[in-house]
Amino acid sequence: MNPTSAYKSLETRYRRMNLVRDAIAVLDWDGAAMMPDGGAQTRAEQLATLKLIVHEQAVDPAFADLFAAAGDGKGLDGWQEANLREMRRDWVHATALPADLVEARSRAVSACEMRWRQARKDNDFAGLLPLMQKVLDLTREVAAIKAEKLGRTTYDALLDEYEPGGASAEIDAIFADLASFLPDFTQAVLDRQARAPVPVPLDGPFPAAAQKKLAEELMRAVGFDFDHGRLDTSHHPFCGGVPDDVRLTTRWDEKDFAKGLMGVLHETGHAMYERGLPQEWRHQPVGFARGMSAHESQSLLVEMQAARSPEFLSFLAPKAAAAFGRSGVAWSADNFRRIYHRVKRGLIRVDADEVTYPAHVILRYRLERALIEGRMQLADLPGAWNEGMRELIGVVPPDDRDGCLQDIHWPGGSWGYFPTYTLGAMTAAQLFDAAKRAIPSIPSALSRGDFAPLMGWLRENVHSLGSSVSTRELLVKATGRALDAGVFKAHLKARYLDS
């Protein structure tokens, strides 16, 4: 078989596998947003079976021969060559694991995730511990096998699933820099806030139906196409589904509409990235998003960089007033800016402001590394979590519900994911800075609720590239430099100390 024929056969096989993965994604969304509790056991069986089918396809011995025949991609165009590289990467991850481990971990994750939903409600870490321990034990097995196969550390082998080529040594340096910068900076911001007028509270209640209507209006302003997606409610906000059928979820608080609204804008950023991926490379690895730091950059760019900009808040304030039938000084643009730029030492990551948010991520990153590397026992997680919160943020959770039980990631099997949030925040700041330099009219457009100039720039410089280049190459192409923490720090200083 010649290299071109071998490549075409690989394309066909990957299309079939990724269509099954699409079905898994929609079933996952349904389990979180629509499925009755009684369907959990059957759903776990369905997901385990589909994941096993994908794994069996991925480890077909024919792949080794096809990759050997395809060689280095000689005769392929640039996109095909990049696709061959990404297929090989996916194949190496897939073939590292035996089928029985893939199935066992899938079952353990499904059971643990469903138990987590009740455990969080009941503040019951002890009740979750046996199921979560099983997930951790199996994840350690996965990490050990992949580390040997990839020639990486156990943690980096897991990180590579979310951040291709990412290395904990580099993250350690970045996070150490932020950890040294944030405490004094946070205190300086809090001191400045103490001297400024206190925001006028927005009095509720804010009916969930009215919140959803406003959220959907803002989704349309960002550019979300409801012919290719929907918004629902779940325990934890997320973006699921597939690029042509994007499923968003959030949760509503009738005392504070900002939580649900900003959650929706965050997930809409994810959705816009998925929708903007190259149509002609659907179901091929090169057509996928370029890792989770890139993905998180898109959600945080919309939520933090654009939607919390003074320009967009001047658009949002009267829209929100009309949505809830309110008026007065509380609903002015200046008051919205004070509200949405408010910094507070809080307990919940998803509700954190962009100044304290990185500290939440640094904590989770340190804890999950310690757990994966066996330097900490899972039973000690609540105490270690509380101590880390005291050290990094200056608050201590009163219970595990608002402590180590607040995130779905570990019960859901996503170990190695957390650092991508802050890497994404830094990337978002750098991309937004570059976009505004390229198109100076972006801020004035946001003041009219017009995201088109910003989204057009992102489509051209980020979304349309898929996985055709590395994360570093993507950022250099878009901004002229690799990831630079100085841009993120400059953004924080400009917004919270200099404005």
Closest of 289, 220, 305 to residue 462, by C-alpha: 289
Structure tokens at 202: 């927005």
CA geometry: angle at 56 spanning 53 and 59, to 5°?
150
Residue 174, CA distances (Å) to 294, 313, 362, 415, 485 in order: 16, 31, 10, 19, 7
- Among residues 113, 267, 354, 368, the one annotated as catalytic is 267
Q: Which amino acid is at 243?
A: P
Q: Is 267 a catalytic residue?
A: yes
Cα separation, 163 vs 144, whole angstroms:
18
Classify residue 498 by burial, with Cβ atoms within 10 Å: 0-12, 13-18, 19+.
exposed
Cα separation, 487 vs 437, whole angstroms:
13
Tell me the angle at which helices 208-222 and 310-324 cross, rounded to the nearest 10 degrees. 140
SS3 state of residue 160: helix
Residue 55, CA distances (Å) to 26, 75, 240, 345 in order: 18, 29, 21, 44
| Residues catalogued as catalytic | 267
